[in-house]
Amino acid sequence: MRHAISYKTVAYREGAATRVTSRRLANATRALRREREKRPLFAAQLAQEQETPEARILAIATAAIEQEQRFRDLAARHWREARARLAAMPDEKRAQLLALWETSFCPPDASYFADYTRNADKILARRARRG
């Protein structure tokens, strides 16, 4: 069965996402300064409440890692649901659908395959009409 290989992002490499470099530190410092400059009347209060540039870098990296994991979990759920629907199909219908999937122009992605199995009847009927 066709499927796309999912590569882990840079965030998963050992310490790459949380590493504080001079460039990241300068960008975080600049972003915090811009936030204060947007509201000049509250600049002093914002400066007290703002996180440090290092904490900002860590928060962004942590959010990126968590988001990547949510996407991976969603893709895994889509694959499981699609394979369950596929297993519940009669052998002939399953073989026809898999043959269409192997030659389709859809990206070999979990959500596309889940949609393919969800709409199997429509896809097979459309294919039968075309001949």
> Is 5 domain-assigned?
no
How many folded domains does the chain comprise?
1
Largest CA distance in the chain: 72
pLDDT digits (tens, 9 = 90+) for 17-56: 778 889 999 999 999 999 999 998 998 998 899 999 999 9
Residue 45 CB partners (closer than 8 Å, separation 6+) = none
Contacts of 47 (CB under 8 A, 6+ apart): 36
User: Nearest CA to 27 among 57, 70, 61?
Assistant: 57
- 4 belongs to a structural domain: no
**How far is residue 98's CA from residue 87's CA, in Å, rounded to a whole number?**
11
Q: Is residue 1 part of a domain?
A: no
Domain of 92 in residue numbering reads as: 10-130
Percentage of the residues of the chain whose pLDDT score is greater than 70 = 88
The model carries a pTM of 0.72
The answer to the question of residue 60 being in a domain is yes
Contact by Cβ (8 Å): 55, 32: no
